[in-house]
Amino acid sequence: MPQPSANSHDPIGWTALLTLIFAGLCLVRLTIPSHPFFDEVHYLPAARVLLEGGYPINREHPPLGKEWLALGMWLLGDRPIGWRLLPALAGVAALWAAMRAMWLASGRRMATILFGVLLITAIPLLVQSRIAMLDIFMIAPLMIALWLCAGAMRAGQDPEAGTLAARWRLALAGVALGCAMAAKWNAAPLAMLPGIAFLIARFDTLGLKRVAALPFTRQGAPISGISVAEAALWLGLVPLLVYAASYWPFYTASTQALEGPWALVTLHQEMLGLQQQKLAPHTYQSVWYEWVGNLRAIWYLYEPADGAQRGVLLVGHPLTMLIALPAMAWCCWMGLERGRRDALAVFVLYAVSLGLWIVANKNVQFYYHYVLPSCFLMGGLALALDALWEKRGWMRWLVIGVLVATLGIFAWFWPIVSAAELTGEQSFLWWTWLDSWR
């Protein structure tokens, strides 16, 4: 892993500040609208059934996200703050973990700070943190897992004192990966990457001549002192056990309760069928290349609510979502040609999280499926801007110009992503720069 330069100090203070700012943005008008909107109408009833001890509904998705929604309602009541506070906290955790993962993986102070600013202003993570849907409960533990894995690799660079520190981080990463999959299946391809990366790195260290020793030797990259067999325990078995444990409400339901482990297999066959069923066309459906080009948005809300015309638009930042695409290509080139493993990791995470939706057997897809890939996209842009910043001179002014434009455009879109009071029914025209955003 790249070592921080002598004058590059851990930006934990900046990370805390940006996380607090993001938390404040999440809380502004969090309880507006005061009624369920968009897909909340599906997941809140499912959470209520869990609270009542009934057999879980909305079974096309795993239960953990709905269990967390139920927890929020149990703690704060079946009202807007109870619906949306835990998603907001999950979004805050995702931002913190993503920035810490960037620092530990890259050792680059400016890239970490830029990543935080870009994630906040990109819009998708913010909007998804302010609504009672499942995606944020998948994104947060994934980011936490990446933070823990990067921390384990840093700790493992000390072969004597670091093994224990690396071990508990890998164990907690396995728990986080299991939680991500138990919130939404979208996490599964990404959940496999840490274990695959560990195996590839260890094989690269040992070579073909020592392949027989591959499962149990503790020497070599990426973490000295941890064998492939042990990594498989923490990053393979533990996630599966955590995932299975999330289905406990199906066994304790007051009616139709599952009995025996094979019942869980039957349930998953039902879930897979529900995921692959042909759905009727939807007004806001879109496909992956429209997400990449920022060509299709979703109106989560646009109606009179709580005494005023209001709207919530899920759309990508018009500037950063597009300039991040050549930045992601640069990450791929730097990773393959220059050995920048941090850049390569960001590219692989983006490619896998987006590639899932290119091959998925799901005829109706939505822009919110791009929220997770967009996080990695902003990571690629942060690394590219950091590289420009390092060149000094007019390149730094270019980075500053991008930041000023980014913040200005975000401020312009703030009313329409935060359910602010609008002037009238035609107010949406201020923000629908493309006809396909209407």
In whole angstroms, give the CA distance from residue 428 to residue 51. Answer: 38
In whole angstroms, give the CA distance from residue 17 to residue 42. Answer: 35
Each as own residue / partner, the long-range contacts of residues 360-364 (CB below 8 Å, 24 or more positions apart, any chain) are: 361/276, 362/275, 362/276, 363/278, 363/279, 364/279, 364/280, 364/281, 364/282, 364/285
In this prediction, residue 160 carries a pLDDT of 62
Burial of 34 (0-12, 13-18, 19+ CB in 10 A): exposed
In whole angstroms, give the CA distance from residue 371 to residue 334. Answer: 25
In this prediction, residue 437 carries a pLDDT of 93
Provide the whole-model pTM: 0.96
**Does residue 207 belong to any structural domain of this protein?**
yes
Angle at CA 326, nearest 5°, toward 324 and 330?
Answer: 105
φ, ψ at 96 (rounded to 5°): -55, -50
**Does residue 112 belong to any structural domain of this protein?**
yes
Q: What is the DSSP secondary structure assignment for residue 101, as one 8-state letter?
A: H
Would you say how long the chain is, in residues?
438
In this prediction, residue 397 carries a pLDDT of 95
In this prediction, residue 1 carries a pLDDT of 67
Residue 97: name the closest of 213, 206, 177 by CA. Answer: 177
**Does residue 1 belong to any structural domain of this protein?**
no
**Does residue 2 belong to any structural domain of this protein?**
no
**Does residue 74 belong to any structural domain of this protein?**
yes
Q: What is the rounded end-to-end Cα distance, in angstroms, of the chain?
A: 45
Residue 194: name the closest of 153, 240, 254 by CA. Answer: 153
**Does residue 4 belong to any structural domain of this protein?**
no
Percent helix, percent strand, percent coil in the chain, to nearest 5: 65, 5, 30
| Residue 291 tokens, joined | 């997400």
**Does residue 118 belong to any structural domain of this protein?**
yes
Q: Please report where in the chains the tokens 């950063």 appear, as a residue.
A: 320
In this prediction, residue 255 carries a pLDDT of 85
Q: How many domains does the chain have?
A: 1
Partners of 310 in the β-ladder? 303
Q: Please count the other Cβ atoms lying within 10 Å of the Cβ belonging to residue 267.
A: 15
In whole angstroms, give the CA distance from residue 103 to residue 96. Answer: 11
| Residue 426 tokens, joined | 């035609």
Do the strands 298-305 and 308-314 form a parallel or antiparallel pair, or are they unpaired? antiparallel
Residue 299, H or E segment = strand 298-305
In whole angstroms, give the CA distance from residue 17 to residue 19. Answer: 5
In this prediction, residue 119 carries a pLDDT of 98
Q: Please report where in the chains the tokens 């810490």 appear, as a residue.
A: 100
Q: Which residues of the chain have pLDDT under 50?
A: none
**Does residue 3 belong to any structural domain of this protein?**
no
Domain that includes residue 267, residue range: 12-437
In this prediction, residue 361 carries a pLDDT of 82
Residue 418: name the closest of 293, 312, 260 by CA. Answer: 312
59 contacts 258 by C-beta, under 8 angstroms: no
